[in-house]
Amino acid sequence: MKEATFYVHLPHGGIRCELCPHHCVLTEGEHGKCNARSNQQEKLIAENFGVVTAFCIDPIEKKPLYHFFPGRQILSVGSFGCNLKCDWCQNASIAQQGRSAFSHISHTPPGQIVQQAANSNSIGLAYTYNEPIVWYEYMMEMAKGIKEHRLKNVLVTNLQINPKPLQELLPLLDAVNADLKSFDAAFYLNKTGGHLDMIKKNLRTVAESGVHLEITFLVLPLMNEKQSMFADMVNWIADELGDRTVLHLSRYFPANRMDDPPTSLDLMHRLFDLAKEKLPYVYLGNVRGSSTTASTFCRSCRQKLIARNGYHTEIVGLNPDGSCIHCQEPICVTH
Ligand code: SF4
């Protein structure tokens, strides 16, 4: 546990958290919507500071990031809590729980995780599994240590974060994979508790900062895949963030409170074809046996540059600087 950074005292008692757009107002003992921050003696306390619930070396492709150090591995860490409440959450066992579920877990200092990243064959550290924004202070301390070791910081996030904390975090980041859950503001609010305007604004901020950005869109049948809205989203990504932005279309499988059947392969491929009309780098995730929709082809000369099959990655056409060996088109971040 640690005192949190972004909060204010209210004139008539209580405190207000300023980290994310919920702006939770908390009286003594109350928890925020994320289940991870609470008012303890008129201080905002980050209850997940030092609590590691998931820890693993993963292929970078699993984040997913396909144009950032392809074929390399990254140490990945998660804690608990989330500021959204999605029925289909794939990590509900840690994301939608509070401190009491993890009372058996002892404190892990940030420096210990950093040292493990430095001692491993990892490119750095990924903040992932549950929403890292709600363990902002823990992430920040690790991210500073990772930079001291000249390693990479990767954030996997819903990007529901207020401008000031985002601005303080961005200089420490090297890559972001952000979940864009819909292009319908009412869906965002009613089904996730988040705000479409905020993620659009924050995606622009990340793209303008020069931090490597990839987007994941989980395809939820009959919920967020209406063709006209999907086309609007793809056009917006191309126009506002740049047509080099990498888009991952991820296949839904039943999880948490949702038991609808998985997204059909037919729908996945239709959306893939639609997105490819505007964006050269679109990939299907959670779809087995389809290396064409997982491999990277140069947007300029169309040659295959990275062959992927599951999490097996083979570089077949990249220069060490990440450009295409055939036409020198810039493709990936590799240093
Ligand atoms: S981070 Fe948590 S406590 Fe703070 S505003 Fe967001 S949901 Fe509320």
Q: How many Å lie between the centroid of ligand 1 and the Cα of residue 7?
A: 10
Rounded mean pLDDT, 40-52: 96
Helix (H/G/I), strand (E/B), else coil: 57: strand
Residue 290 has pLDDT above 80, yes or no: no
Whether ligand 1 lies within 6 angstroms of the CB of 26 is answered as no
Give the pLDDT band of residue 88 (cuts 50, 70, 90): very high
Instruction: Provide the percentage of residues in the chain whose pLDDT is more than 90.
Output: 93
The residue type of 217 is: F
pLDDT number for residue 235: 98
275: left (phi over 0), alpha (psi -120 to 50) or beta: alpha
Q: How far apart are CA 154 and CA 76, in angstroms?
A: 9
- Give 11's contacts (C-beta < 8 A, 6+ positions apart): none
Question: Which residue pairs, CB below 8 angstroms and at least 24 apart, start in 307-313?
Answer: 308/61, 308/66, 311/59, 311/61, 311/62, 313/59, 313/61, 313/70, 313/71
Are the beta carbons of 128 and 156 closer than 8 angstroms?
A: yes
pTM of the entire predicted model:
0.96
Whether ligand 1 lies within 6 angstroms of the CB of 83 is answered as yes
Give the pLDDT band of residue 106 (cuts 50, 70, 90): confident
pLDDT in tens, 139-197: 999 999 999 999 999 999 999 999 999 999 999 999 999 999 999 999 999 999 999 99
Q: Ligand 1: which residue has its CA nearest to atom 3?
A: 32
Residue 129 has pLDDT above 90, yes or no: yes
Q: Which residue of 2, 6, 27, 37 sits with most ligand 1 atoms within 8 Å of its CB, as the best mutation to test the pocket?
A: 37
Whether ligand 1 lies within 6 angstroms of the CB of 23 is answered as yes
Whether ligand 1 lies within 6 angstroms of the CB of 31 is answered as no
Give the pLDDT band of residue 3 (cuts 50, 70, 90): very high
The atom of ligand 1 lying closest to the CA of 20 is 6
pLDDT number for residue 288: 81
Rounded mean pLDDT, 91-103: 90
Mean pLDDT of all residues belonging to the chain: 96
**How do strand 73-78 and strand 152-157 relate by DSSP bridges?**
unpaired
Give the pLDDT band of residue 291 (cuts 50, 70, 90): confident
pLDDT in tens, 195-222: 999 999 999 999 999 999 999 999 999 8
pLDDT in tens, 212-254: 999 999 999 989 989 999 999 999 999 999 999 999 999 999 9
pLDDT number for residue 153: 98
- Which two three-digit tokens encode residue 332? 């990936």
- Selection from 114, 182, 107, 180 nearest residue 143 by Cα: 114
pLDDT number for residue 292: 87
Rounded mean pLDDT, 284-305: 91
Q: Which domains does the chain carry?
A: 2-46 (no CATH), 54-294 (3.20.20.70), 296-335 (no CATH)
Residue 42 has pLDDT above 90, yes or no: yes
